[in-house]
Amino acid sequence: MRNTAFDNNKTISLTIRFIILFVATVLLFTLSGYRAEYVAHSEEWTVDNAITALSDRYNVNEADARSIIGCESEFKANAFHVNKDHSVDYGYWQINTFYHIKTAKKLGLDIFTPQGNLEYGFYLLSQAGVAPWSASNTCHKLVR
């Protein structure tokens, strides 16, 4: 016979650990001063302007980028999804913390900020194409 109280406590404990780890990671990146150099000193940053500028900078199809961002986050900067493995998909592009945080850090990008998340998504799209977003293909229909 299974001890469901033990299983529930174990799940709660893992959830609390995950939340602490997630908050610590966000604070680490925020306090360490990572920045995105997405649009060279524009006077007013908007997600729309940034998408246009980053599409040009990374030489990717702007309509494809907008389609993926719309499907992944509905253009919400702080959208997130906790996966079964306790990693988090975060931001406009739903960048996975487990697979991408080290590369983003090497590039000097903070995927927990709107600007850093946008730029890293464009970097990833320019390097890997639409494959990282194949799970949402039923929405954006870009993976052929």
Query: Which domains does the chain carry?
Result: 4-140 (1.10.530.10)
Beta strands in 59-104 (DSSP E): 80-82, 88-90, 95-96
The residues pairing with 90 across neighbouring beta strands, listed in sequence order, are 80, 95
Can you give the pLDDT at residue 17? 72
Contact present, 122 and 135 (Cβ < 8 Å): no
Q: pLDDT tens, 36-89?
A: 444 444 558 899 999 999 999 999 999 999 999 999 999 999 999 999 999 999
Helices 114-128 and 47-58 cross at an angle (nearest 10°) of 30
Percent of the chain with pLDDT over 70: 73
Can you give the pLDDT at residue 37? 47
Model confidence at 34, in pLDDT bands (50, 70, 90)? very low
Can you give the pLDDT at residue 143? 73
Q: pLDDT tens, 108-124?
A: 999 999 999 999 999 99
Mean of pLDDT over the chain: 84
Length of the chain: 144
What token pair was written down for 61?
Answer: 């199809």
State pTM to two decimals.
0.72
Residue 26, exposed/middle/buried by CB under 10 A (0-12, 13-18, 19+)? middle
Can you give the pLDDT at residue 38? 44
